[in-house]
Amino acid sequence: MKYAHLYSPLEMGDLRLRNRIVMAPMTRSRAQQVDDNVSELQVNYYGQRGDAGLIVTEGVHPSADGKGYNRTPGIYDDMHTAAWSAVTNKVHDRGGLIACQLMHCGRVGHALNKGQNTRFLAPSALPAKAEIFTESGMMPMPVPEAMTLAEIKSVVADYQSAAARALQAGFDAVELHCASGYLPAQFLATGSNLRDDQYGGNLDNRLRFIEEVLQAIKFETGAGRIGLRISPGNPYNDHVDGNPKETYAALLQLANRLGLAWVHAIRMASTGIDSLALSREHFTGALIGSDSFDAGEADQFIAEHRVDAVSFGRAYIANPDLVTRFAVDAPLNALDKRTIYAGEGAGGYTDYPCLPEAG
């Protein structure tokens, strides 16, 4: 086989991936806006891609407060658990594995994207200096509420409950989204965390919230079913830290002490930080590399032990049979950027063509 390393199995914590092609987490804005629920659309979408070594879902909010974007799904009530079960069953029917990415947006979002009586909670009352898409167009983000100690404890409990629901729904693992300026990253970064209590100030304090969340998730799933998504130095959503290399080295060391199954690192040359090398230096578990890989480069990085697996995003949007296309070196479908966040319907979501079956 041309890409033998990419198609080799991988032991990753408690999971055994049949290949090292991972479907990256991608917001697609297709959940039901009225109740944050997934539907038959998501059953088909994820099921089509069930031959990946691992699917990591789009960001899923662990509470109604945690929602930030338009038409993103939740996993905080019985309805959500039941609906996600149909998704995981479809993936498992194809022999695949699927992880639920938990994403609490914190200060990132807009009231037009959230339910009534929901709140914007963050480490400090500092708005993100950025705009966000709503169905009424791009809007500035609001000033959040600085979380009390009781509210921090409550949000940690929300993560734990969401992890328990993920297992009930049949997910094989959970990935904590700790990139892109969302709530865990807001606690981590000096630019968004101005607290003067045990959750702010020095680096150990700024890591405390993430450690408590990971410990809470670990209580439900065990460490061997937890991944961590990072992007050191990425300024998205006004994520600014005074020393991101030092900060993320400490986060990786925490992940290593807790025995997490994997780190999922986004590489961004523009940050000046080699996130893959940094992860290898401080984390001994499996490393998934992400962003702009093709099959050849992915296979080479695995062969050189620079990563253990590679996640593909845009290529997976347009090619539900990506595993097959890489295997036979077939051309890829072109991505229609107009339908990435189309909002509803199958167009640009589940209607990309697969290769004709042989025979």
Dihedral sign (CA 184, 217, 214, 264): negative
Could you read off the pLDDT of 223-257 as tens digits, one per residue? 999 999 999 999 999 999 999 999 999 999 999 99
Report the topology of domain 10-339: TIM Barrel (3.20.20)
For the annotated catalytic residues, the residue numbers are 182
| C-alpha to C-alpha distance for 206 and 242, rounded to whole angstroms | 13
Residue 323, class by beta-carbon neighbours within 10 Å (0-12 exposed, 13-18 middle, 19+ buried)? buried
What is the Cα–Cα distance from 220 to 158, expressed in whole angstroms? 12
**303-332 residue pLDDT tens:** 999 999 999 999 999 999 999 999 999 999
User: What pLDDT sits at residue 358?
Assistant: 47
Of the chain, the end-to-end C-alpha distance in Å amounts to 20
Domain positions in the chain: 10-339
Q: In tens digits, what is the pLDDT along the chain, a chain of 359 residues?
A: 799 999 999 999 999 999 999 999 999 999 999 999 999 999 999 999 999 999 999 999 999 999 999 999 999 999 999 999 999 999 999 999 999 999 999 999 999 999 999 999 999 999 999 999 998 999 999 999 999 999 999 999 999 999 999 999 999 999 999 999 999 999 999 999 999 999 999 999 999 999 999 999 999 999 999 999 999 999 999 999 999 999 999 999 999 999 999 999 999 999 999 999 999 999 999 999 999 999 999 999 999 999 999 999 999 999 999 999 999 999 999 999 999 998 778 999 999 999 997 43
